[in-house]
Structure 1
């Protein structure tokens, strides 16, 4: 007679095992990523503060040769630059906590006002560029993976390398030379008349596409998109090349997975295997690197906005650099650093929701 050993079971309704620390893996992951945002921003802010103090006195650099010594000393006192360096650093940090990024020297403008008025333009251009990057990178990456090591694949990989390696301002200049002879607008966000018309929109978001939709005039919507096409294409191709290569590599790896082999064994066509099984999982790494690409887009926006006279944060930063207004440069660079840090955290949240593997 054999004796069967039955493992004891938990009674029905027993509570699940306690989670470590009382938090779910997702909550622990997000808290860790949030905790890393603060030191990252602090390090960036400290580096910007130190570097702009190393290159010299911001007041003398901006106003030297136009003001006498007494006037420069008065401006230093007003800006707090006559105090000890540690005092300046502490006052700058406490100001950032309050949302005070400083004031420009050349036009006495609050840096936070630049975020409201010009930041919306940079956000709009970045979103357009992301649309272009997805529209270019994802379909072409899928085609390259399908025709691996054949002529379409070789040509698309070469295209990805060229658009990623070429300076964004150079691509912008080529696009202006190619489209300007056909009357395509290549500078500004809209025409002067449309800008004056959209100034009366209420509520005003400073994102011209939304403002033109709120205005209810289709011709304004078309004009906004027409003006945005060239700068968005120049900036979007930069990231589109990255997405193309990333989708290609991950799709090729996914096509060798066991579950894809099982799908083929069930008799599914290659098109259905790619579309229903492999392609969706190959997109997860694209979401993962999106945070880094946002930082790249913000860096490229400085050159793109200058090339196409798109009055965003990058355009203002270039203007203040030319004016040697280093206090404005310090505030804008710090502002961009905070935006990149917050965006990276939001991307981490999206990745954690899409891919459960990153939580553990």
Structure 2
């Protein structure tokens, strides 16, 4: 166990170091002065602060290594620069936007698991039969649909045509919820506002369409992964031996099939999280959801290079830490997987 922890810790440190180098290099690839991009301040402002004996953390006349050292020092201290357009600290803006993206992705993943896992088991248990062909066809169609096109269709049908659900946003403008955690449902439950039930219902109505846009595509993927894993498990030797001992199909599934089929599914699902977050960032732009994806798109439109640099680094670090942490936990809790895939890292 200690060996696995050390290997994953080294891997995470090396990966984050490479990401920091790439993020630092972006300042030299964007048009403009690298120091301006890293700080979000004009050179005239930097010179004025230096004349006032204010330590800005960056030396425009210093070498690249010196600037990288200051860049990393500022990152660890929470000073990620200032937005060119809003003039606000980038750390605060990212910390306000990222929870909205995580919330949307988490709800979509929860719905996908609730739907995808049972449907995958049904397709596998009815292998080469009508339910299997029907669900497999549904999964192929759902996986082939671009998420942005699906989101637009849902808006056209449920918002513009029927008028059942709101078109965009996270909450109606008539409601004001204090931002404590960044997760809208949690903030509503923790607040002391009036008509909390109405506010919660309004937030749920705003969540339906963007969550479904992501969940439909992810459900088809989970369905296919589950179907393949269950079929492979049911065809394994220990399942055939269980049938030979006289166990019924239900007993075999409950005692051996479900648990062993889910073991290879979990790491595959963890590896799909970057795709899920990418789809969420696309959907945010369409539904005006105030997440990190919508924030980054606005930064690109406004050519806010310091915001682009900080936002890409924040998203990359979050994805790396999440996926590697999940994979490490799975290796620690699954001895069989630990031995078989010991040399894959």
Q: State the TM-score, normalizing by the size of structure 2.
A: 0.84
Q: Please tell me whether residue 190 in structure 1 is matched to residue 171 in structure 2.
A: yes
- Between the aligned partners of 1:342 and 1:310, the Cα distance in structure 2 is 24
2:53 matched to which residue of 1? none
Deviations 1:168-190 (A, max 9, x none): 21111111112112221131111
1:276 matched to which residue of 2? 255
Give 1:310 shift: 0.6
Q: Secondary structure at the match of 1:193?
A: coil
Give 1:93 shift: 2.2
Aligned to 2:15, which of 40, 43, 57? 40
Which shifted more, 132-141 or 246-255? 132-141
Q: Please tell me whether residue 120 in structure 1 is matched to residue 106 in structure 2.
A: no
Consecutive unaligned residues in structure 2, runs of 5 or more: 50-55, 340-345
Give 1:330 shift: 0.4
Deviations 1:208-240 (A, max 9, x none): 111222347333322222211111111122322
- Between the aligned partners of 1:146 and 1:348, the Cα distance in structure 2 is 28
2:342 matched to which residue of 1? none
Give 1:41 shift: 1.4
Aligned to 2:32, which of 57, 70, 89? 57
Aligned to 2:268, which of 275, 289, 293? 289
Determine if contact 1:284/1:354 at 8 Å carries over to the other structure: no
Consecutive unaligned residues in structure 1, runs of 5 or more: 1-25, 63-70
CA gap of 1:111–1:286, structure 2 versus 1, over 3 A, is farther
1:151 matched to which residue of 2? 130
Which shifted more, 271-280 or 73-82? 73-82
- Between the aligned partners of 2:162 and 2:255, the Cα distance in structure 1 is 42
Deviations 1:223-279 (A, max 9, x none): 222211111111122322221111111111110122212222233332332343212
2:44 matched to which residue of 1? 74
- Report 1:150-229 matches (<5 A): 150-180=129-159, 181-183=161-163, 184-194=165-175, 196=176, 198-199=177-178, 204-215=180-191, 217-229=196-208
Give 1:60 shift: 12
Q: Please tell me whether residue 309 in structure 1 is matched to residue 288 in structure 2.
A: yes
CA gap of 1:133–1:81, structure 2 versus 1, over 3 A, is farther
Give 1:319 shift: 0.7
Q: State the TM-score, normalizing by the size of structure 1.
A: 0.81
Determine if contact 1:33/1:348 at 8 Å carries over to the other structure: no
Give 1:151 shift: 2.9
Larger CA Rg, structure 1 vs 2: 1
Determine if contact 1:58/1:325 at 8 Å carries over to the other structure: no
CA gap of 1:214–1:249, structure 2 versus 1, over 3 A, is same
1:94 matched to which residue of 2? 73
Determine if contact 2:222/2:269 at 8 Å carries over to the other structure: no
Give 1:127 shift: 0.8
Q: Secondary structure at the match of 1:324?
A: coil
Give 1:58 shift: 6.3
Deviations 1:31-77 (A, max 9, x none): 21121011111212322332452242268999xxxxxxxx9652676
- Between the aligned partners of 2:139 and 2:191, the Cα distance in structure 1 is 39
CA RMSD of aligned residues (A): 2.6
- Between the aligned partners of 2:158 and 2:33, the Cα distance in structure 1 is 41
Give 1:307 shift: 0.7
Q: Please tell me whether residue 29 in structure 1 is matched to residue 4 in structure 2.
A: yes
Q: Please tell me whether residue 351 in structure 1 is matched to residue 330 in structure 2.
A: yes
